[in-house]
Amino acid sequence: MKSDSIFYQIFLNFPTIFFELINQPNTNTQTYEFTSREVKQLSFRLDGLFLPTDNNPNKPFYLVEVQFQPDDNLYYRLFAELFLFLRQYQPPNPWQVVVIYPSRNIEREQNQHFGNILASNQVQRIYLDELSETVTGSLGVGVVKLVIEPETQAINLAKSLIYKTKEEIIQPKVQQDLIDLIETIIVYKLPQKTRKEIEAMLGLSELKKTKVYQEALAEGEAKGEAEGKEKAHLKAVSNMIRLGLALETITEYLDLPLEEVQRLAKLTENRS
């Protein structure tokens, strides 16, 4: 499962989840942009950046790293990228680093070189399996924890999150998008299952027939038409490729000919 791609989509589409994770749930996410930025000297690319969009110099920018595999070189690379970024862009805002691990035993601290900086209040390490009960009561954090949930328990948690989404999220389009994200995570966790089988397991078959879901779907389609079908499809294909989905799977999800998906994938590759 490509956890970094999943987290990219979570933070891109639901930035409030990130700020819940770092215990800043009241942050106005409208004043942040989640993006990536190239550091030219060594062709580094910072794939997870929350950059302030207002002119408040006291508001930090966040460099986010999702690490699900042991890596002895992580902190060497991460802090090299950070300080090269600071040198190149000289942002007016203070920096914060957030590293997300599934569990503490994945981390390789390298305290000889980074002990002091890791202990500073500008670095926050999050271990998903150690989140407190108070934090895990959040819908958004629950979606994040679904990524590390064992397959045997993932379906029950996903059902609970879908129910919670229907109870807590009022806006139909946001509700639909979050349910689709939960379904996508399960698709990754259970690659041997078909989409229809997963819909049945999660109880989504009937949900997708409801008036609320259909209205949300229609809203999304109307927005896509307003933006232009080409642009909407290109964005969808780009996001799904970033998630690691095969072109055949994208074809099924978007109900497009394979040749069209291949053409859009080529456009995405040329733009990157």
User: 156 and 254: one domain?
Assistant: no
User: 123 and 4: one domain?
Assistant: yes
Is 144 contained in some domain?
no
User: 130 and 62: one domain?
Assistant: yes
> Where is the domain boundary, 78, 113, 137?
137
User: 155 and 108: one domain?
Assistant: no
CA separation, residue 86 to residues 187, 190, 228, 230 (Å): 38, 41, 38, 37
User: 1 and 133: one domain?
Assistant: yes
DSSP code string of 57-101: TTSPEEEEEE--S--TTHHHHHHHHHHHHHHHH--SSPEEEEEEE
* Whole-structure pTM value: 0.71
* 33: β partners: 51
Residues of the domain holding 238: 228-272
> Where is the domain boundary, 137, 158, 182?
137
Is 89 contained in some domain?
yes
User: 202 and 246: one domain?
Assistant: no
Is 222 contained in some domain?
no
Is 73 contained in some domain?
yes
Does residue 42 sit in helix, strand or coil?
helix
- Per-residue confidence (pLDDT) for residue 48, from 0 to 100: 86
Is 254 contained in some domain?
yes
Q: What are the structure tokens assigned to 81, written together?
A: 């990228």
Question: Which domain CATH number covers 98?
Answer: 3.40.1350
- Per-residue confidence (pLDDT) for residue 256, from 0 to 100: 83
- Size (the chain), residues: 272
CA separation, residue 217 to residues 4, 179, 237 (Å): 27, 12, 17
* Cβ-contact 64, 75 below 8 angstroms: no
> Where is the domain boundary, 137, 157, 174?
137
* 96: β partners: 62
CB proximity list for 191: less than 8 A, separation 6 or greater: none
User: 29 and 77: one domain?
Assistant: yes
Is 246 contained in some domain?
yes
DSSP code string of 90-106: --SSPEEEEEEESSGGG
The single-letter DSSP state of residue 255 is T
* Cβ-contact 213, 188 below 8 angstroms: no
* 35: β partners: 49
User: 68 and 169: one domain?
Assistant: no
Is 221 contained in some domain?
no
User: 33 and 163: one domain?
Assistant: no
User: 88 and 210: one domain?
Assistant: no
- Per-residue confidence (pLDDT) for residue 241, from 0 to 100: 75
User: 45 and 100: one domain?
Assistant: yes
Average pLDDT per block of 10 residues along the chain, 272 residues long: 76 92 92 81 70 91 93 94 90 95 93 94 94 69 90 90 90 87 89 85 71 59 60 77 74 81 81 58
- Per-residue confidence (pLDDT) for residue 76, from 0 to 100: 95
* Cβ-contact 99, 78 below 8 angstroms: yes
Is 143 contained in some domain?
no
**Structurally, how many domains does the chain consist of?**
3
- Per-residue confidence (pLDDT) for residue 216, from 0 to 100: 57
- Per-residue confidence (pLDDT) for residue 135, from 0 to 100: 55
Q: Using the Cα atoms of residue 183, residue 27, residue 88 and residue 77 in order, give the sign of their dihedral.
A: negative
User: 271 and 199: one domain?
Assistant: no
Cβ-count burial 128-160 (b if 16+ within 10 Å, e if not): beebeeebeebbbbbbbbbbbbeeeebbebbbe
Spatial distance between the Cα atoms of 252 and 67, rounded to a whole number of angstroms: 30
* Cβ-contact 254, 237 below 8 angstroms: yes
